[in-house]
Homo-oligomer: A and B are copies of this chain.
Amino acid sequence: MGILKTVEGGVTAAKGFEAAGVEAAVKYQNRKDMALVYSATPCKVAGVFTSNVVKAAPVVWDQKIVASAPYVQAVVVNSGIANAGTGTQGMDCCRQEAACAGEALGIPPEAVLVASTGVIGKQMPVERLQEGIRKLAAAKSASLDAGLDAARAIMTTDTVHKQIAVQVEIGGREVTLGGMCKGSGMIHPNMCTMLAFVTTDANISKEMLQKALSADVVDSFNMISVDGDTSTNDTLLVLANGLAGNEEITGEGPDYHTFCEALHQITTYLARKMAGDGEGATALFETKVVGAATREEARILAKSVICSSLTKAAIFGHDANWGRILCALGYSGVIFDPEHVDLYFQDKERRIHIYGNGVGQDYSEEEATKILSSPEVTVLVDMHMGTQEATAWGCDLSYEYVRINADYRS
């Protein structure tokens, strides 16, 4: 495959994409809280959405568009209110947002996707949204700064914006993919994450775009968890406008695999960022399982560890409490012999063996504490049952998580 390189920017890195972020006072005051992603060239679209049976109105709207619209051109996003638990009034709001964006941008309302994130159960202030949409349409630009504005506007309790872009050669053409996403609570995606948007100028059929995305999330967004709560709003959209000019990818083959690699670079970067910026998090907590009998078992084991509240609290306390990790592997549902598992703590500089042959190893607590004080802590689990592996990403559990969520609505 072509050489994959990271480039500046996010959703406006790929040819033909514009973006904007503006203040609309949907709920937050004095900060950008609405974002637009736009392409004058019609885009193929693929999406994955929350598996929660309680779906926010924008999820219902987008699922219909992704399934049936011939093309899309815009995504309108707001933070502050989730438009979930809002009944028919919530669906009406989506329609009005799409109609307003269609008018402001000169495109059909069926080419407009919408997404919302924030508190559940509040009705949306439709007029402020419409005002915001008109501002977005006026402000939109293909600059990297405009992409950054959008990435900032979709944040809720996130502490940093999250975006990335990569370039790769496909069929002799330079293809760019860019993405942005937001966390950071109610994160336990079971189809995709809260809100993530990827744009690309790749020329790819709708069918292959959806195939690439659906295959990808299993090892990217579905491998992260902040708090085990699968949101009502999880939405991941990929828009492809074809402007790179490569021959259309219509089946599996080298071009498709190159595209998948590039997409995976984007999604795992965003997923890791989201985990590390989980509500109240002081560290990214990564669990890598190797030597598993099957890929699926590796995934289950890795996720069980990063989801364990006790393990997460121990990571926050820089406490090498490997018993909790072993315990979380044990209740994952995967059958194994604890006597034949090895556990290691590692960071970028060192690795220590903490458990093997059924008992704790003779490691230096001081070394362990050093590793556990890194901003990125990794537990390596060797199951010695086969050759499959998987990695999951979470974060520690801190006082701040409790504080944020004890008074989120106020």
Contact = CB atoms under 8 A, between A and B. Distances in A.
Interface string A227-262: 111111000000000000000000000000000000
Number of copies: 2
A6 interface: no
Interface in A372-410: 397-399, 401-410
Q: Majority SS of interface residues in chain A?
A: loop
Contacts of A88: 358
Contacts of A408: 314, 317, 319, 321
A399 to B, nearest CB: 5
B232 A309 contact: no
A335 interface: yes
Interface string A172-187: 0000000000000110
Given A313-B402, A399-B402, A409 B319 contact: yes
B309 A405 contact: yes
A85 interface: yes
Nearest to A406: B317
A229 B310 contact: yes
The range of chain A's interface size is 35 or more
Contacts of A339: 87
A55 to B, nearest CB: 8
Contact of A85 (B231, B326, B398): B326
Contacts of A319: 406-410
Given A121-B355, A227-B309, A399-B402, 18 more contacts: A50-B331, A54-B329, A54-B331, A82-B323, A85-B360, A120-B321, A121-B323, A186-B310, A227-B310, A229-B331, A309-B309, A309-B401, A313-B405, A314-B405, A314-B406, A314-B408, A321-B409, A397-B402
